[in-house]
Amino acid sequence: SGSFSDLFEAGSGVNAPADAFGQSPAHLAAGGGEAFFLLWQLQTGADLNQQDCLGEAPIHKAAKVGSLECLALLVAGDAKIDLCNNSGQTAADLALAYGFLECAKFLTTIQHTQTMKLSGQSCYSPSDNCGLLGEDPAAQKQESETGRSISRKRRRSDGVYYHWLSTV
């Protein structure tokens, strides 16, 4: 974390590209899983959606290293969750590709919740099957009609996410 201290002591502009790849201090903090430095960046007005030469914003960097803490800060700061990099990948896609399933599920759930809010619906009930990776509404409907229920473990896990989301 010495490089972060040097970066901040240098007094570079908060949104100025910090390196040859167009990464700002917020990119570096998110990519290093440095939630404290990222929070400091957010408080000093960093652009959360600034894209580097790969088209990646800080949210992509946090997803690639599996930092749920940094992702939560970025989401709370209104970072664009559905922003795509130059390869057309969202942060959720990257989290999944790098094997960070919990981060991918977190991002997918938030994105789903935001979509529901935009359409004027609420999605906070743990009994809803919102944000589950890989399940489409038709499959869920068919599943409930045949009387099979979602496993308790999965439902309880969702309950934790929805409870956590409602306190953010």
Superfamily of domain 2-101: Ankyrin repeat-containing domain (1.25.40.20)
Query: And the tokens for 94?
Result: 């990257």
Q: Write down the pLDDT at residue 126.
A: 46
Report pLDDT for 142: 47
What pLDDT is stored for residue 16 in this prediction?
A: 60
pLDDT of 59 strictly over 50 = yes
Residue-level pLDDT at 19: 78
pLDDT, one tens digit per residue, over 118-167 is 887 544 544 444 444 444 444 444 444 444 444 333 444 444 443 344 44
pLDDT at 15: 61
**pLDDT number for residue 164:** 42
Query: Domain residue spans in the chain?
Result: 2-101
Q: Residues 81-96: what's their mean pLDDT?
A: 97
**What is the pLDDT, as a whole number, of residue 137?**
47
Q: What is the pLDDT of residues 2-55, one digit of tens each?
A: 454 444 444 445 566 567 889 999 999 999 999 999 999 999 999 999 999 999
Residue 90 has pLDDT above 50, yes or no: yes
What per-residue confidence (pLDDT) applies to 28?
A: 95
